A and B are shown apart, each in its own frame.
Chain A
């Protein structure tokens, strides 16, 4: 598929969780797939992430959470972006997240979440498909 412009992605590590292997592997893979990627570094608050997402004018926010705090952190980032009128931003991510929680977050408006063993090409495809669909809707 050909996008009219590069997809802009913020890869973020919310909360106190320091496990950044996945976030860095994903950030590099999205960059290699032609996306413009900003990585926040560790220990970000939801407020810091929402602010960065707005300032960087990203299409997608990817949160990596391995700390078990996903049921607090995903909804908080979602809410902050909505409050700033940015409900067009896709919030996706991954980590150690049980399927039931992924389903519950999806009902709240979070995009697809990915667990261990996911190939990076699957993530790339998901984001590209989402972006293509949004562009079609805007056209």
Chain B
């Protein structure tokens, strides 16, 4: 009897006996496939997002050498970044939430914390995401609809009223104006008496994927990248526990990318940020430990687990071998996961609970550090409190009832999962080469190359769905009468707009406008130099300059981004 380990050694060392064993296995598998192929008659695609999968995997497909895997907590972290997996600490249950005014969202946060959520995650409304105040003409109709409206430090103080910022960790999904919202947060913590050194949390701050997929940008690429490196540099010194970026595959995948594209494009962005930090003169080990990632957890269960394992391995090797990082914390990819919004259906919405549960299981088997589970009603509106509670309880069932968190990387050594992990790594490397041919990630996105790749994948998925090659339960199979909404939905009225307008009127009337003007003048001057702009933004935040005032001050120097339009 030959063990997997022997075959692994045979693959790598080529001993004659084991090579004979491999030949015999190859012949047996070929004969087995020939005998049973005709029975594979179900009319569906046996494929994941990258291509066909085999009916069975054996040691022929995967026999990873020990140094490809390591133990959990060991380089290259294929099996996880923590030696004890979830035995030391469970993942952070972090539900993304925000709507209406800062007061409304503050109430939701207190509800979530009271129900056992362990970290906060701020969803901002579209005007805030784009750097507009609630009373700006471009904000009309959008204030508080898709997230919370935050136009100044005063709103940020209200958002966290009664929530001690030295004790919670807070994730903020903000990109174009990330540096401004981070300054509001730091200033709000100061008001609570909490120094920036104690702050724990994350700003998304990943502008490259905005140009590729999510599209909440402000400035052109180069000044936007400069602002990101300014955050790296400031936080390395003043907020060492803060994750300065969450390099995000989520939006790339939601926009249509395959798992391999999500993996490769996101890592390419991550490597670009590392290059830019180093180019500024920051030693890699000074800022790399504060970089974090964010993945979309889609439907193909094993492919998603393999994607997370491959991501850790690629990142560790790139940071150590290409950039010469010496601190293991620079090698470790830590990440947040969210179940895939795009897989939710408006038809038979209760089915979404089951989809989310499987996706959450994949995220945990892939070793996520924190997790958001989507609510069943999110294809129809922002989630109700009841729907969010089911989503949070789904994580708690997984954490406390299934036994899954007891063992690290329980699928390690599975022929299938190891083969998929290797395959995704190879596909990512092939895509890295294509990105290099385009002149690197920045040139490729300015040319619209990424955007076209993503659109083509989205079109192909739509076609497969409409051809019936992919089954979506309740949409193109198992439909039933009255499938449309029968669940209560959250309604957000227009009161927030009026309330925010009034708050801004009061703010402008009561703040010291001379301080404000001086801070904005200094910000414009700093933006025009090579100096780090964060201290000037922080001073403007403290002076109660508004989000748009700060945005506009830098825009006079940087200009604004124009997208390449095509379909």
Q: Which residues of A contact B492 (CB under 8 A)?
A: 68
- Known contacts A18-B214, A67-B142: does B381 contact A98 (CB below 8 Å)? yes
Residues of B contacting A17 in the complex (Cβ-Cβ under 8 angstroms) = 126, 142, 146
Bound form: Cα–Cα A27–B345 in Å: 22
Q: Is the CB of B475 within 8 A of A117?
A: yes
The yes or no answer to B414 lying at the interface (CB within 8 A) is no
**A25 x B489 contact (CB < 8 A):** no
- Contact A99 B379, CB 8 Å, known A15-B126, A67-B146, A68-B142: no
A99 in contact with B256 (CB, 8 Å): no
CA of A71 to CA of B476 in the docked complex: distance in angstroms? 29
- Are B485 and A42 interface neighbours, CB within 8 A? no
Q: Does A24 make an interface contact (CB < 8 A)?
A: yes
Q: Is A96 an interface residue (CB 8 A)?
A: yes
A131 and B358 alpha carbons, distance in the complex (Å) = 44
> What's the Cα separation between A16 and B347 when bound, in Å?
27
Query: A8-35: contact bitstring with B at CB < 8 Å (1 yes, 0 no)?
Result: 0001000111111101110111010000
Closest residue of A by beta carbon distance from B479: A117
Q: Is B499 an interface residue (CB 8 A)?
A: no
Note all chain B residues with C-beta closer than 8 A to A68.
142, 145-146, 381-382, 492
Question: Do residues A41 and B126 form an inter-chain contact, with CB atoms below 8 A?
Answer: no
Question: Counting CB contacts under 8 A, is B484 at the interface?
Answer: yes
Interchain CB contact under 8 A, B345 and A116: yes
Identify which of B183-191, B299-307, B454-462, B543-551 touches chain A.
Answer: B454-462
Known: A39-B567, A96-B380, A117-B347. A21 touches B255 (CB 8 A): yes
Q: Which residues of A contact B31 (CB under 8 A)?
A: none
- CB <8 Å contact, B380 and A67: no
Shortest CB-to-CB span from A47 to chain B, Å, is 10
Across the interface, name the chain A residue whose C-beta is closest to B214: A18
- Shortest distance from the beta carbon of A15 to any chain B beta carbon, whole Å: 6
Complex CA distance for A37 and B565, rounded to whole angstroms = 13
How far, in angstroms, from A52 to B489 measured CA to CA in the complex?
34
Q: B127 contacts the other chain (Cβ, under 8 Å)? A: yes
Contact, CB under 8 Å: A98 / B145 = no
- Min Cβ gap A99→B in Å is 6
Give A15 to B292 CA distance when docked, in angstroms: 30
For the complex, what is the distance from the CA of A45 to the CA of B381, rounded to whole Å? Answer: 23
Q: Mark B205-217, 1 if CB is under 8 A from A, else 0.
A: 0000010001110
Given that A96-B381, A116-B345, A116-B346 are contacting pairs, would A16 and B132 also be in contact in the complex, using a CB cutoff of 8 Å? yes
Which residues does chain B contribute within 8 Å of A45, judged by CB atoms? 138
B141 interfacial by beta-carbon distance below 8 Å: yes
* A69 in contact (CB, < 8 A): yes
- Flag if A16 contacts B255 (CB, 8 Å): no
Contacts of B385 in A (CB 8 A): none
> In the assembled complex, how far is the CB of residue B561 from the closest CB belonging to chain A, in whole angstroms?
10
Q: A41-B565, A67-B126, A115-B346 are in contact. Are A24 and B458 (CB under 8 A)?
A: yes
Asked whether A4 is an interface residue with its Cβ less than 8 Å from the other chain, the reply is no
B167 contacts partner chain A, Cβ-Cβ < 8 Å? no
Q: Closest Cβ of chain B: how far from A87's Cβ, in Å? A: 22
Name B567's contact: one of A27, A72, A73 (CB within 8 Å).
Answer: A27
Question: What is the bound-complex CA distance between A31 and B459, given in angstroms?
Answer: 13
What residue in chain A is nearest B492 (Cβ atoms)? A68
In whole Å, how far is A110's beta carbon from the nearest beta carbon of chain B? 15
User: Is the CB–CB distance between A18 and B215 below 8 Å?
Assistant: yes
A117 touching B215, Cβ below 8 Å = no
Asked if B157 is at the interface of the complex by the 8 Å CB criterion, the answer is no
Q: Which residues of B contact A120 (CB under 8 A)?
A: 462, 466
Q: Does B20 contact A (CB under 8 A)?
A: no
- Residues B254 and A15 in contact, CB atoms below 8 Å apart: no
Q: Which has the most chain A C-beta neighbours within 10 Å: B342, B347, B458, B465?
A: B458
Complex CA distance for A19 and B475, rounded to whole angstroms: 21
Closest CB of chain B to A63's CB: distance in Å? Answer: 12
Least CB distance, B73 to chain A, in whole angstroms: 38
A85 to B345, CA, bound (A): 39
> Would A73 and B141 count as touching, CB distance under 8 A?
yes
Chain B residues in 8 Å Cβ range of A19: 214-215, 255
Question: Known contacts A39-B567, A45-B138, A116-B345; is A16 also within 8 Å of B127 by CB?
Answer: yes
Chain A CB within 10 Å — which of B215, B455, B485 has the most? B215
**CB <8 Å contact, A16 and B381:** no
* Cα A81 to Cα B380 with chains together (Å): 28
Kindly provide the distance from the CB of B34 to the nearest chain A CB, expressed in whole angstroms: 38
Query: Is B130's CB within 8 Å of the partner chain A?
Result: yes
Q: Is A135 an interface residue (CB 8 A)?
A: no
A25 touches B485 (CB 8 A): no
The answer, yes or no, to whether B107 is at the interface (CB within 8 Å) is no
| Nearest A residue to B126, CB-CB | A16
Note all chain A residues with C-beta closer than 8 A to B475: 117
- The 7 A-B pairs with the shortest beta carbon distances in the complex, nearest first, are A72-B141, A18-B215, A68-B145, A41-B565, A16-B126, A69-B141, A27-B567
A-B contact pairs, 17 of them (CB 8 A): A11-B567, A17-B126, A17-B142, A18-B215, A21-B342, A21-B458, A24-B567, A37-B567, A41-B565, A45-B138, A68-B142, A69-B145, A96-B379, A98-B485, A99-B485, A117-B347, A120-B466
Q: CB within 8 Å of A: which residues of B?
A: 126-127, 129-130, 132, 138-142, 145-146, 210, 214-216, 254-256, 342, 344-347, 379-382, 455, 458-459, 462, 465-466, 472, 475-476, 484-485, 489, 492, 563, 565-567
Known: A11-B567, A20-B215. 8 other contacts (CB 8 A): A16-B138, A18-B215, A18-B216, A21-B342, A28-B455, A68-B142, A68-B381, A69-B145
